Amino acid sequence: MKMIKTHEAIGHTKMLSVLYVEDEYEIRENMAKILEMLYARVFVAVDGVEGLEIYRQNRTVIDLVIADITMPKMDGLEMIEEIRRDNPDIHAIIITAHNEPEYFIKAINTGIDNFIVKPIEMQQMMSVLSKSAKTVKVSKEHKNYANYLEMMLAQKKELLEESYMYDSLTGCYKKEKLDQMSQTHPEHTMILCNIDNFDSINSTYGYEIGDRILFMFAEYLRNHLNSTNTIYRVASDEFVIFYPTSTDEPICPVESLYQGIQSYIFKVDDILISLTCTIGIASSPNALVKAHAAMKEARQIGKNRYHVFRDDSDFIARQKNNIEWMRKIRLALNEDRIVPYFQPIVDNATGQIVKYEALARIIENGTAISPRHFIEPAKLVGLLPQITQVIMEKSYAMFADKSMSFSVNITEEDIQNRNFAAMMAQLGEKYGIEPSRVTLEILENISANGTDESVKQLHELSQMGYTIAIDDFGSDKSNFYRIHSMHVDIIKIDAAYIQDIDCNKTSELIVKTIVSLAQSMGIPTVAEFVSSESVFHKVKSMGINYSQGYYFGEPMPDIG
């Protein structure tokens, strides 16, 4: 067996502290002197109770426990078991006699790390102490390394969290940090600034210039606000100014900020850019959601303005209603519950039905839902073309075995679909219906705001033989020039002027003007919303060619 010299053992033990417990005085004194030569620090106790108390007072520095087994008050194994309840990893050596086999077995079961046998032989003791010191040293190194890794991981985590919450482009915090601040300061106010038409800057000058403008805009906000207010970038072109108090006071700096942004010129190289913002202001709770709603509500009126959220505003209710209807529309499409209802159009001269208009309905729990509930949500979510396609398909199927003509509403979204004309041609071929039997009613967004490409598409459809009608003419978006540029075949006069034309002189005057214009251009007219005999006689007397409304028949799922 290799001889372990004292200086070799010291090389392993000198950095460690040991708790030594022995009840026999002479053995304790001699052993303590040896241990004091080997270890940096030695704590000595006369029994298990004292040893446990010393450990509890010095638990952070004691690396190793050496204890006799048989002692009064509390034996060594009981003491080590108590110590390991506090520190399961502490290294423990038991001093035992050859005539204590039952304690020896119990020590093994307890998980004692090593043994020194009585009577103590120096070589055996040095070997045990050296091996134990090596084990403790390696364990401490591993623990220290683990602590180092944990510390480095914590630092990395902190840096990642900082980068996660910090926008490197503008120097502002991100929305994640804003969420934290909202929780830290339950009473707060937010000013949301959305840069108007920022996408046009990116598309005109490129993203690099756009990014520099964003940085300069953030700098502008920082330079013109109180240092106690923090700025956050919550979207590509949206910034939030956070006030850690719920108050109406920010209205004053908003006015100054609003005016200042309008007059400030942002210069990037030789490019001079003026910006405007639409601003929403709201206080907790849910300040960011409310500020967004206030900003959106301001945008409905027009950009470059600010708006304070009001609890009595119906904007959020309308938004929720739109979101609910988006879900219902998708479900109705999937379940084939979108159907056409047909309303007759009558020739005023003969009183005969000359065609039917196909009107979209959603069937819900046996009830036909009017499009006024779902057209706008469908437009927002891009589902109008799918609805048009369903109504077209079912309308063509309805009239396949009939000689009557019919009309269907189309939107700007339909016309922008390059396959629309091809789809119409396919339906005609499938159901044997000539284009001359089909009238395409243009909703006002085409006639008022349609692009040159839309007009070109309508000309193509007209040349294919389809009749083109302007619907709701006379509304606030009607455009007389479009009648000429689109070569319209029929003008349908807006229901707002027809429904009370028998008793409203203003409506009568407006309708006369429209009819006179149409007659001079040789374009027939249709009165919508004819609901009574008196209204019918009035529109007939004014020279309107056709009538449509509940007076002649409400929309029905079949035409009989």
DSSP class per residue in 454-511 = HHHHHHHHHHHT-EEEEEEETSTT--HHHHHHTT-SEEEEPHHHHTTTTT-HHHHHHH
Structure confidence at residue 6 (pLDDT):
57
CATH homologous superfamily for the domain 175-309: Reverse transcriptase/Diguanylate cyclase domain (3.30.70.270)
Whether the CB-CB separation of 371 and 360 falls below 8 Å is answered with yes
455: buried, middle or exposed (CB in 10 Å: 19+, 13-18, 0-12)?
A: middle
Q: How far apart are CA 42 and CA 27, in angstroms?
A: 15
Q: pLDDT digits over 225-235, tens only? A: 776 678 999 99
Full 3-state SS string of 395-442: HHHHHCCCCCEEEEEECHHHHHCCCHHHHHHHHHHHHCCCHHHEEEEE
Amino acid (1-letter code) at residue 297: E
- Which residues are bridge partners to 57 per DSSP? none
Please state the φ and ψ torsions of residue 341, each to the nearest 5 degrees. -110, 145
Give me 533's structure tokens.
């005999």
353's tokens: 């039905």
Residues of the chain with pLDDT below 70 are 1-11, 98-101, 103-104, 227-228, 246-252, 444-451, 476-482
The architecture in CATH of the region 3-142 reads: 3-Layer(aba) Sandwich (3.40)
Pairwise CA distance, residues 354 & 360, whole Å: 20
User: Nearest Cα to 405, choosing from 354, 469, 465, 341?
Assistant: 354
pTM of the model: 0.64
The helix, strand and coil proportions of the chain, stated in percent and rounded to the nearest 5, come to 50, 20, 30
Q: Could you tell me which of 18, 69, 137, 133 has the C-alpha nearest to residue 80? A: 69
Q: How far apart are CA 28 and CA 47, in angstroms?
A: 11
Give residue 4's pLDDT. Answer: 47
Q: For 166, which DSSP code? A: B
Q: Let me know if the fold of 3-142 is the same as that of 175-309.
A: no
Supply 361's token pair: 């309905």
In whole angstroms, what is the distance from residue 232 CA to residue 238 CA? 9
Kindly report the CATH number that applies to the domain delimited by 320-494+522-528: 3.20.20.450
Helices (H), 87-223: 101-110, 122-165, 175-184, 198-205, 207-223
| Whether the bond into 119 is cis, omega within 30 of 0 | yes
Question: Coil, helix or strand for 235?
Answer: strand
Calpha distance 333→362 (Å, rounded): 9
Contact 169, 216 (CB under 8 A): no
Domain ranges of the chain: 3-142, 175-309, 320-494+522-528, 495-521+529-553
Q: What is the pLDDT of residue 448?
A: 52
